[in-house]
Structure 1
Amino acid sequence: MNSTTKKATSINLLDFKSPQMRAFHLSWFAFFLCFFGWFGIAPLMAVVREELELTKSQIGNIIIASVSITVLARLGIGWLVDRIGPRITYTYLLILGSFPVMFIGMSDSYETFLLFRLIIGMIGSSFVITQYHTSVMFAPNIVGTANATSAGWGNLGGGVTQMVMPLIFALFISFGFLEAEAWRYAMVVPGIAMIITGFLYYHYTTDFPEGNIDELSKKDLEYKKKKKSDGKGALKAAVTDKRVWCLFLVYGASFGIELTINNIAAIYYHDFFKLDLKTAGLIAGLFGGMNLFARSLGGFFGDRSGIKWGLKGRVGFLGVVVLIEGFALILFSQMTLLPIAIGTMIVFSLFVQMAEGATYSVVPFVNKKAIGIISGIVGAGGNAGAVMAGFLFKMEGVTYGESLCALGIAVVAISSTTLLIRFSEQDEKSAKEELEESLAEKKLQPELVNS
């Protein structure tokens, strides 16, 4: 732990007792389930398309709806979590968010399906809570890795759902349900899991290493005064900082692309390569499956770059990764042979998710008084990027391959915005001092244990 703030200076995955690691494990798992429920219907869209007789344009609108409301939800959640803490915020989001996930099965037309898909998108704001919780639980030497790993394992839900939902769908078919019934009942499964996790989050996490916001406020009036003082002007400082909006664009070019691929990958492989639902889902799942380690790598190398070159090192690494991501996406868009398409998709996926992790190795250092707000704004950038991408995929005269190529070119261009993300000498000095303190504390830990 950091002696001053009690933030963890390392990640011990087998630790389920400390408040830092309980928050780590439950936050990534909660995000995993939210992602699973958010994109649970995506691998079943071929079935839904037939039943509801959806056009390409309507599917495009559904894709846009699934990510659009999340832009506003992430901004709101960022503001809320700064005030009531991650524990209560996550509990309500998980439980309330489970209902539209389960009730999408009540859809009987394009309009009702579109509405439920829109509402479900609110649970995508869970990402902001996860990033906030790990940001306040881990010290500077490891915060990038903690953020990237918790978010990456959460994003893994987008890959796992591509593989698992067709199997759950097939299970209901084996029980004798028709296809039109099976996809509806399948969506109840992630909803129930979200409710259970909401109760676990409430009972087994704390807002900060020292305790919950309400408890700290009662014990320490100075803490309450400091939170109130820090909150004043935090929103204005965040929205007027150009670095925040550069990170907004960069995250749109990374997480926004991931959301888009999660929405279209299964149906793309089903239509373009003429694969059945299960096979298309399995291949599409490989993209999200890279989150098992790829996003963590982005955070890890972001931290390493920060240790060696300071904050400018973190930003420089981010710019390089986003640039490579753009070229990899252009390459993937040109593939017509299935084995090569899968290979290039995996390479592309690696850099997409590394870029996401690298982004949030920078975010905690922009303004420490507004971590929640900035996390919300940058996180919203991912969904804004997905919304913009969605308009490409609803155009009748443009193929999916052409849309992917256009997105790749946009990502390459956006990578240049990292050149505008700069920190003052005072910021660099402050970050260096905090880093040295956390590294010294980490070295001291074995001695304290042995004594």
Structure 2
Amino acid sequence: MANLAQAKSTTLSLLDFKSVSTRTFWITSISFFMCFFAWFGIVPFMPDVVKDLGLTPDQKWNSIILAVSGTVFARLLIGKLCDKYGPRLCYTWLLTIGAIPVILCGLVQTPTQFLICRLFIGFIGASFVITQVHTSLMYAPNIVGTANATSAGWGNLGGGANRLGMPLIAAAVVSFGVADADAWRYSMIVAGIVCFCMGIIYFFFTKDTLNGNFKDLRASGEMVSTKKDQIGFLEVLKDYRVWILFVVYAASFGIELTVYGTMDDYLQNTFQLERVTAGNIVLSFALMNIFARTLGGFFGDKFGKLKGLRGRVLFLAFILAIQGLMLITFSTTTSIVIGVAFLILFSLSVQMAEGATFSVVPFINKKAIGSVSGIVGAGGNVGAFLAAMLLKSQSAVAEKGAIIASQGLGEEAIKAAQSAASATAVSSGYFIIGVTVVITAVVSLSIRFSTEDEKVAKVDGLVKPENLILVK
């Protein structure tokens, strides 16, 4: 059976729309953006949902937990499916089927129905894995880190853009005569329809690789599928490097999600900022994904060119350590000016660490890029869950203590004491998390590659699509 050396683009030409790699890059990035937009689309409307459906505080928090939990399992599964069926079909089905719970979310009538929808909506968070797999298959080693980081960063913008976009959609539907109380429902339906349409576009306008789709390549004999070339999922699980990167992504993307999820309240409680001001600061940091994550992938590629695969690991460890130190310093400051300065540096470094992580991932196991990406991607959600539990537990204990200690001082005094206790507890939690990130950076240095891996990566980075050789 013939085996075709895989064609990959050696440049990231964003305006060359005739190129399959460029077209795929844009479509996968936009699809990722829309998935995140829909995944977190209900967040701006939670006060309306609580009022409309009569959600209890526990049900509200459970909906958040369910959305994140569903993503963990979906990411683990989708990576293996990408290796078997290709990213094109996986994304097509994820978008078209994933659109259903998004649309149904706008039609729910009970809290139970809402919770079920939130669980299944979380599955579209697996879109990140497919995007990383697809760009890894499209771009050569010399540029793959930059391509992965850019597509992921621009896609992640969907998680912040919905804070502006969903209210605009709601305002638009209200202008057509829809009642304000029902605007959130129509907004979710619109987001679901757009996701479904992106699934159709993905099917007709992308390919799995520059050589063609997995199905066609197997049929023509250009894609080897012998037992020797098949990598079992258990074999991927046994690779210690996969689990180190799992922890690294938990310490980067997972921490970013948790810090930004708690930062609004922290800024208000610590620096007495108005809610709108605190929210705008957090939103501006989310928008740094436009360039920050790309920088991580870019420098990962540059270090890879200078020092090979080991260079990519060294840069990842360096930027991860910087991230941890920035968070540690931020947690100890009491000045709003200094605090925001270090928060900016934290935001920059954490997003660069995410990009640097996926400049390493494609080289762990080239025959199972999907499985590796899925496991590492799931690490981000696990990290977010664990960090959130740490902050929640510390804050809860501190607030209860403050309430007991200030009994009889009046409602205003109790609230002030509660806010101060929460700020102190969260600050302590940030410090612990920062130290953990630095330790993770040191551990990441244990990632090693064989001499053969180094040679293959170097050669692949020099092979251009027009210079491919058919090997019998």
* Structure 1: segments with no counterpart, 5+ residues: 446-451
In structure 1, what residue type is equivalent to 2:362?
P
Instruction: State the distance in 2 between where 1:166 and 1:32 align.
Output: 17
Q: Quick one: which of 400, 418, 421 aligns to 2:447? A: 421
What corresponds to 2:375 in structure 1?
A: 377
8 Å CA contact 1:238–1:373 kept in 2: the answer is yes
Q: What is the total number of aligned residue pairs between the two structures?
A: 435
The alignment yields a C-alpha RMSD, in angstroms, of 2.9
Distance in 2 of aligned mates of 1:101 and 1:281: 25
- Give the secondary-structure state (helix, strand or coil) at the position aligned to 1:420: coil
Q: Greater Rg, structure 1 or structure 2?
A: 2
For residues 337 and 103 of structure 1, the distance between their equivalents in structure 2, rounded to whole angstroms, comes to: 46
Structure 1: which amino acid aligns with 2:88? R
- What code does the residue aligned with 1:397 have? V
Task: Give distance in 2, aligned partners of 1:304 and 1:386.
Answer: 29
Deviations for 1:405-436, whole angstroms, at most 9, x for unmatched residues?
4433332232222022112233223323333x
Q: Is the 8 A contact 2:264 2:275 kept in 1?
A: no
Deviations 1:131-164 (A, max 9, x none): 1111111111111111111111111111212232
The aligned amino acid for 2:26 is H
1:336–1:41 Cα change, 3 Å: farther
Q: Please, what TM-score do these two structures have when normalized by structure 1?
A: 0.87
Secondary structure of 1:364's partner? Answer: helix
- Within 5 A, what are the aligned runs for 1:245-264? 245-261=243-259, 263-264=261-262
Using the alignment, how far apart are the partners of 1:269 and 1:409 within structure 2?
A: 21
Query: Bigger CA drift: 200-209 or 65-74?
Result: 65-74
Matches within 5 A, 1:110-129: 110-129=111-130
Q: Is the 8 A contact 2:7 2:209 kept in 1?
A: no
CA contact (8 A) 2:101 2:121 kept: yes
Partner letter of residue 289 of structure 1? L
SS at 2:397 equivalent? coil
Match of 1:391 among 384, 389, 392: 389
**Cα distance in structure 1, aligned partners of 2:44 and 2:265:** 7
Hey, what does 2:353 align to over in structure 1?
355
Q: CA offsets, 1:72-117, max 9 Å, x none?
A: 1111101111111111110110111112222223445554433322
Structure 2 counterparts to residues 6-17 of structure 1, below 5 A: 6-17=7-18
User: Which runs of no fewer than 5 residues in structure 2 stay unpaired?
Assistant: 399-421, 468-472
| Contact 2:37–2:161 under 8 Å retained in 1 | yes
Contact kept in structure 1, 2:254 and 2:383, CA below 8 Å: yes
For residues 378 and 137 of structure 2, the distance between their equivalents in structure 1, rounded to whole angstroms, comes to 20
Q: Which moved more, 1:249-258 or 1:164-173?
A: 164-173
Do structure 1's residue 230 and structure 2's residue 229 form an aligned pair? yes
Alignment correspondent of 1:448: none
- 1:203 is aligned to 2:204: yes
| TM-score of the two chains, using structure 2 as the length reference | 0.83
Displacement of 1:214 in angstroms is: 1.7
The Cα shift of 1:246 comes to 0.2
Aligned-partner SS, 1:187: helix
Q: Counterpart of 1:141 in structure 2: which amino acid? A: N
1:28-177 matches, within 5 Å, as: 28-49=29-50, 58-108=59-109, 110-172=111-173
- 8 Å Cα contact 1:149-1:293 kept in structure 2: yes
Give the superposition deviation at 1:229: 3.7
Write the distance in 2 (CA, Å) between the matches of 1:326 and 1:174. 47
User: What is the identity percentage for the equivalent residue pairs of Structure 1 and Structure 2?
Assistant: 50
Change beyond 3 A, Cα 1:335–1:115 = farther
Residue 449 of structure 1 corresponds to: none
Asked if the contact 2:144/2:359 (under 8 Å) is kept, the reply is: yes
Q: Following the alignment from structure 2 to structure 1, what is the Cα–Cα distance between the partners of residues 48 and 330?
A: 26
303-312 or 380-389, larger mean C-alpha shift: 380-389
Counterpart of 1:291 in structure 2: which amino acid? N
CA deviations over 1:151-199 (Å, ceiling 9, x no partner): 1111111121223223334445566655542222222232121111111
Distance in 2 between the 1:53 and 1:340 partners?
Answer: 41
Question: Relative to 1, partners in 2 of residues 1:392 and 1:170: Cα closer, same or farther, differing over 3 Å?
Answer: farther
Distance 1:305 1:22 in 2: 27
Greater alpha carbon shift after TM alignment, 420-429 vs 301-310: 420-429
Paired AA for residue 195 in structure 2: M
Q: What's the offset of the Cα at 1:15? A: 1.0
What is the CA–CA distance in structure 1 between the aligned matches of 2:162 and 2:47, rounded to whole Å? 15
**Mean Cα deviation higher: 330-339 or 137-146:** 330-339
